[in-house]
């Protein structure tokens, strides 16, 4: 039995920004500005249908639904200054630097749950024979109640004093011109995020239900990186863009709707225990794109017809492995059995090794295990794509382009992370096994590439013809 009521809610975002540029000297420029963010919290605009927050999560009152006009308050002190400077040290060298504060909209994934879930959406489950009569009380959705009970599935609570997430960012760069067409730059980039949104699920200490998803400002993040880039503009038929990044990204949560779901109170959640490598933490990353147009032949017409118009393109992407997390019942990380190796020999797995299930054991109810978040790493990426094309000039305004492309031309195998669901060890086999290549693992969701063209697949090629007029 399902019931759904129409509800419309909205919020407003106002931003004011002022900026000025000061040419202090012919070599030194200063840019500075100030941004003011005013973001209103979510509120209902449907007459007679307020939003509901949950008491007993962020205050000491008994747990229950309470009608509110908005999920939080509007803060008017969100000022974000920015400053940047550039200095021409020599005719070939320029130094740049900047610092700024940046506010997020503060609309996390858990906040809309109060609109899409209870009490505006209700579902009931009937057991036993029921006559097919829609007027039968068995088909009526569960009635609204402000006091949640074991039959209430999920509730959503928002901190009434929720603040906008804030990120501090800074960078220093040195760029050097190498000749007429080439340049090399080295940049240090850093950032620190604070008041980041976090959604934790709280369970009833008696029945486990309802599960209350609470959104608050509890997460933080840090990122530091050295970025080196070489750029060659088109000269003598050759163009190159190559970059290398040595970075480190740490946080307590990499998304805003994936926190703890093992505790009965926010006070029992130690957010600092989740501090570790970000889900997207890649320590080393190298990328290069090269294009080369073959010189035109100056021989006879036959030689010109065979050799003119050819171009070669190459893309290289190599990076170290991303981390992955182990999880079990209720998304908890397991405990470590000390003295037992993390990996065991397995000739059937890539590299001949696999995770050892015997090194892990389920954590006690209501707590996270002592295994660190994102403790393990998957497999690196090493892929080269190559393309060869030729332009056939049919007339002054008509050209035919022929192109052949190969993805992963060297056919390097790249694998997805192993199965990280610790429940597999308990209920069925498969824990720690690698069952997919990287391209199939990354495929899925709107806008994603086909596994045939996604990075991490086997070598594949395609031919194309394009008529341009």
Give Cβ neighbours of residue 88 (< 8 Å, ≥ 6 apart). 26, 27, 28, 94
**The pLDDT of residue 428 is above 60:** no
Where does the pLDDT of residue 339 fall: very low under 50, low under 70, confident under 90, or very high at 90 and above?
A: very high
Q: For 51, phi and psi rounded to 5 degrees?
A: -80, 160
What would the mean pLDDT of 419-430 be, rounded to a whole number?
67
- Measure the CA–CA gap between 49 and 114, rounded to whole angstroms: 12
**The pLDDT of residue 5 is above 80:** no
DSSP string for 275-289: -EE-TT--SEEEEEE
Looking at residue 193, its pLDDT comes to: 98
Looking at residue 127, its pLDDT comes to: 59
pTM of the model: 0.87
Looking at residue 263, its pLDDT comes to: 82
- Give the number of other Cβ atoms within 10 Å of residue 316's Cβ: 15
**The pLDDT of residue 150 is above 70:** no
Looking at residue 393, its pLDDT comes to: 81
- Measure the CA–CA gap between 147 and 162, rounded to whole angstroms: 24
Tokens 């696999």 sit at which residue? Answer: 354
Strand 154-158 relative to strand 211-235, pairing: parallel
Where does the pLDDT of residue 126 fall: very low under 50, low under 70, confident under 90, or very high at 90 and above?
A: low
The DSSP call for residue 265 is: S
- Give the number of other Cβ atoms within 10 Å of residue 228's Cβ: 14
Give Cβ neighbours of residue 90 (< 8 Å, ≥ 6 apart). none
- Measure the CA–CA gap between 149 and 152, rounded to whole angstroms: 5
Where does the pLDDT of residue 121 fall: very low under 50, low under 70, confident under 90, or very high at 90 and above?
A: low
As a whole-number percent, the residues of the chain with pLDDT over 70 amount to: 87
The DSSP call for residue 295 is: P
**The pLDDT of residue 8 is above 90:** no
Tokens of 284: 């080393």
CB 55 within 8 A of CB 41: no
Q: For 23, phi and psi rounded to 5 degrees?
A: -85, 90
Least confident of 72-86, 116-130, 271-285: 116-130
Least confident of 324-333, 395-404, 423-432: 423-432
Q: What is the pLDDT of residues 173-210, one digit of tens each?
A: 999 999 889 999 999 999 999 999 999 988 876 566 77
Give me Rg for the CA atoms of the chain. Answer: 29
Residues in the chain: 469
Tokens of 444: 């899925």
51-55, 277-281, 398-402: range with highest mean pLDDT: 277-281
Q: Where are the domains of the chain?
A: 1-281, 317-469
**The pLDDT of residue 427 is above 60:** no
């Amino acid at each position: 039995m399902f019931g759904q009521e129409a509800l419309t809610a909205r919020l407003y975002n106002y931003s004011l920004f002022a900026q000025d540029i000061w040419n202090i000297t012919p070599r030194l420029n200063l840019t500075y500005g100030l941004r003011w963010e005013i973001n209103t919290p979510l509120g209902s605009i449907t007459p007679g249908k307020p939003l509901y927050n949950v008491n007993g999560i962020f205050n000491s009152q008994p747990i229950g639904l309470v009608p509110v006009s908005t999920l939080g308050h509007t803060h008017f002190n969100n000022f974000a200054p920015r400053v940047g400077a550039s200095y021409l040290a020599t005719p070939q060298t320029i130094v740049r630097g900047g610092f700024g504060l940046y506010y997020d909209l503060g609309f996390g994934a858990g906040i809309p749950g109060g609109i899409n879930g209870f009490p505006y959406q209700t579902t009931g489950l009937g057991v036993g024979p029921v006559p097919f009569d829609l007027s039968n009380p068995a088909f009526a959705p569960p009635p609204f109640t402000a006091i949640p009970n074991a039959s209430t599935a999920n509730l959503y609570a928002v901190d009434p004093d929720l603040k906008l997430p804030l990120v501090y960012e800074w960078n220093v760069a040195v760029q050097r011109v190498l000749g007429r067409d080439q340049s090399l730059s080295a940049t240090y980039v850093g950032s620190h995020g604070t008041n980041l949104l976090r959604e934790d699920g709280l369970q009833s200490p008696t029945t486990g239900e309802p599960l209350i998803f609470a959104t608050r400002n509890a997460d933080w993040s840090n990122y530091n990186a050295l970025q080196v880039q070489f750029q060659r503009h088109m000269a003598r038929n050759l163009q190159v863009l190559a970059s290398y990044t040595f970075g480190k990204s740490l946080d307590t949560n990499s998304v805003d709707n994936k926190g703890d779901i093992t505790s009965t109170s926010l006070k029992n959640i130690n957010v600092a225990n989740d501090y570790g490598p970000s889900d997207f933490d890649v320590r080393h990353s190298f990328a290069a794109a090269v294009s080369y147009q073959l010189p035109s032949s100056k021989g006879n017409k036959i030689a010109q017809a065979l050799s003119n118009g050819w171009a070669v393109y190459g893309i290289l992407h190599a990076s170290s492995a991303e981390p992955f997390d182990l999880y079990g019942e209720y998304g908890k990380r397991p405990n470590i059995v000390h003295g037992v190796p993390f990996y065991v020999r397995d000739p059937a797995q890539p590299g001949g090794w696999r995770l050892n299930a015997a090194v892990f054991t389920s954590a006690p109810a209501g707590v996270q295990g002592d295994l660190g978040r994102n403790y393990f790493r998957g497999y690196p990426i090493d892929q080269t794509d190559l393309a060869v094309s030729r332009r056939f000039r049919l007339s002054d305004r008509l050209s035919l382009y022929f192109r052949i492309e190969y993805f992963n031309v060297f056919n390097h195998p790249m694998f997805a992370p192993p199965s990280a669901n610790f429940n597999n060890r308990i209920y069925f086999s498969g824990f720690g096994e690698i069952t997919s290549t990287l391209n199939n693992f990354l495929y899925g969701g709107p806008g994603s590439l086909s596994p045939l063209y996604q990075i991490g697949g086997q070598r594949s090629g395609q031919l194309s013809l394009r008529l341009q007029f």
